[in-house]
A and B are shown apart, each in its own frame.
Chain A
Amino acid sequence: MNGVRSSMALLVLPALLAATLLFALPLCLLLAGSLRGPTGWTTANFISFLGSAYSWQVIGRTLRLATLTTLVCLVIGYPAAFALARTRGVVQSLCVAALLLPLSVSVIVKAFGWTILLRGNGVVNLLLQGIGLTSGPVRFLFTETGLLIGISNIFLPYMVLPLYAVVRQIDPRLADAATTLGGGPFHVFRRVLVPLSMPGVVAGVSLVFSLATGAYVIPTLLMGDAYQTLPVEIATSFLFLQDPARGSVAGVVLLLLSLLVVAASGRLARPLR
């Protein structure tokens, strides 16, 4: 028994090593960098970062972008996951493939793709004018709407896949049972399907939210440098301002924000169960 257990422990070793070397160690270095001043350990970096109104603007913008992205993905992804779970056979395989394939394309390529689609004479504008919804070209590039369209599209699979995995495990007879007990369609949805899909919602929301808070390429390409979020701020600090302390502090703040939201989403979902 002991032998089995120790050989099991051996199986975890590579993952443990990789996590330590590639994840825990850099995190410690990041934390150390944020607490290091010219004369030794200090909290001055944090005080100066958190004391500036500009930093709070950046934090606010990051949270706003992540929240909106998560909402859009949830609104689009939730019904999609249910539809996907109800399909069968070839149709289901095709849909899942359509969802997975874009993940194999680089984020940069997809973000560039959106800059082409969204520009003044891009497909989106031609389409809008073609069907008569607008008379002239609508400005999408370098607007928050354009950014939201692009970023939601790119992160949508991360919402749909965990949701789909959970929803398809829901026994369809539970909905049958609920409806024979007198539950109308909305009651069945609210009291049975929503609570049972909550683990998927929590997983999808956590994934998309942390991805969106950490997104660098997409806001940069679709909004330009004027739109400063925490990841953009980190890059600017390291690359242009040569201020590693400020970058490290922003990194720690970003990490804490993501962790906080991921931890909170599980909690907040509980009353819905």
Chain B
Amino acid sequence: MAYLAVERVSKRFRSTVVLEELSLQVARGEFVSLLGPSGCGKTTLLRILAGLLAADTGSVALDGHDLGRLPPHRRNVSVVFQNYALFPHLTVAENVAFGPRARGRSGGDIARTVERLLALVQLPDMGDRRISALSGGQQQRVAMARALATEPDLILLDEPLSALDRKLRETMQVELRRLLRDLGMTAIFVTHDQEEALALSDRVAVMNAGRIEQLDTSEAVYARPATPFVLDFVGQSTVLHGTVGASDGRALTIDTALGPVHASGPFARGSRVMLAVRPEHMQPGAAADDSWTSVTTPVAGQTFLGRICLLYCSGGPADRIIVEVPAQVAASLSAGGSATVSWRIADALVFPAP
């Protein structure tokens, strides 16, 4: 029995379908990210879970209890909003105390909670500060403390780190993950930043156009994307389009703009397919043996990333080839020349052409 069970939830605004029969199960203490481009419905789902928005159809149950049309203030679900939505007229301590106070807890109890949480988010002695006197990172911590002060059954995070600069964001990611893990908190984290989702989550739900395209661990979502959308949205990859020229039901030869390549998959001769390989599985040079395949391609350019370099090559109109190469090797592969690149057949993914 899942702790949080979202069953076939649909939502439309006028004629636009925002969520389409979406289901999602989350275990107690799990950290699940909703990852997708803007407009994919992830924030809508979050607002439905919080009770700020009613689903048209479907149900949401938390710990066995149907949340139904329960208004937000009767659910024990906290939200950390994008840009935090801290109360500007209250001090840091009063912000944190807002939840316990609204729930009618006693004064001494509230004071202890506030003190404990401000210590937890490493802002002790900041209770009397005005919100406007805090930095972005500090405001983020206050927002966390405020959301945790009600001891929620579920915490929803709506792009909570997107307003921070890159360096601070990375520090806060680690801190946020440790804090929620230590508390055993069940969390749903909405983001459009794939690195953030992969780094933080137990499982990632990749969303597109109101559905979950894939729900799996970070590793699986990256290594075995279920659909071309997931492949495209999470990480970079080489993509070659072509037609299956020969097939024995398992081993394929695909005719691409750059010539035939070997692959494996249950595709019939003549079907249009799309072949994808992650950059780190590609290497410069010819195929070493039968378990490898290769193409020769014009070099379009390269991006230096410090230890490694990404080599971009071109193929057919919708094709792209991205190869991760050590920086010292990249120097010999300049734009305008051509390169032979290879990959293991087992590392390539084959999808029906979209």
Contact = CB atoms under 8 A, between A and B. Distances in A.
Interface string A137-181: 000000000000000000000000000000000010110111111
B156 to A, nearest CB: 8
A273 interface: yes
B78 A180 contact: yes
B87 A182 contact: no
A183 B73 contact: yes
Contact of A191 (B71, B86, B98, B103): B98
Nearest to B88: A196
A182 B102 contact: yes
**SS of A interface (majority):** helix
A190 to B, nearest CB: 10
A182 B86 CA distance: 15
B89 interface: yes
B207 to A, nearest CB: 21
Given A174-B85, A196-B89, A273-B89, A182 B79 contact: no
Contacts of B51: 180
Interface string A231-273: 0000000000000000000000000000000000000000001
Contact of A177 (B71, B77, B79): B79
Contacts of B298: none
Given A174-B87, A176-B52, A273-B89, A182 B150 contact: yes
A84 B70 CA distance: 28
A174 B52 CA distance: 12
Interface residues of B, number: 26
Contact of B85 (A173, A183, A195, A273): A173
Contacts of A183: 73, 98, 102
A34 B50 CA distance: 65
Most chain A beta carbons < 10 A, residue from B99, B146, B149 = B99
B260 interface: no
B72 interface: yes
Contacts of A179: 52, 71-73
B85 A192 contact: no
A180 B102 contact: no
B146 A181 contact: yes
B81 interface: yes
B50 A180 contact: yes
Interface string B310-335: 00000000000000000000000000
Contacts of B146: 177, 181
A255 to B, nearest CB: 33
Interface string B118-143: 00000000000000000000000000
A207 to B, nearest CB: 22
Contacts of B81: 173, 176-177
A187 interface: yes
Nearest to B51: A180
B52 A182 contact: no
Contacts of A192: 87
A122 interface: no
Most chain A beta carbons < 10 A, residue from B52, B72, B78, B79 = B72
B213 to A, nearest CB: 28
Contacts of A184: 73, 102
Given A176-B52, A176-B79, A177-B79, A182 B99 contact: yes
Contacts of B79: 176-177, 180
A215 to B, nearest CB: 34
Contacts of B72: 176, 179-180
A195 B72 CA distance: 22
Contacts of A174: 85, 87
A177 B75 CA distance: 13
B152 to A, nearest CB: 9
Contacts of A188: 73
Nearest to B143: A177
A181 B150 contact: yes
A177 B87 CA distance: 9
Contacts of A273: 89
Nearest to B97: A181
A181 B99 contact: yes
Contacts of B88: 196
Interface in B15-74: 50-52, 71-73
B85 A181 contact: no
A171 B89 CA distance: 12
Most chain A beta carbons < 10 A, residue from B50, B83, B87, B150 = B87
B150 to A, nearest CB: 6
Contact of A180 (B52, B83, B87): B52
A176 B80 CA distance: 11
A188 B149 CA distance: 17
A175 to B, nearest CB: 9
Contacts of B147: 181
A183 B146 CA distance: 13
Interface in A71-92: none
A55 B149 CA distance: 58
B103 A182 contact: yes
Contact of A195 (B50, B89, B150): B89
Contacts of A173: 81, 83, 85
Given A182-B103, A188-B73, 7 more contacts: A176-B85, A180-B75, A180-B78, A181-B150, A183-B102, A184-B73, A196-B89
19 contacts: A174-B87, A177-B81, A177-B85, A177-B86, A179-B52, A179-B72, A179-B73, A180-B77, A180-B79, A181-B73, A181-B146, A181-B150, A182-B73, A183-B98, A191-B98, A191-B102, A195-B89, A196-B89, A273-B89
Interface of A: 171, 173-174, 176-184, 187-188, 191-192, 195-196, 273
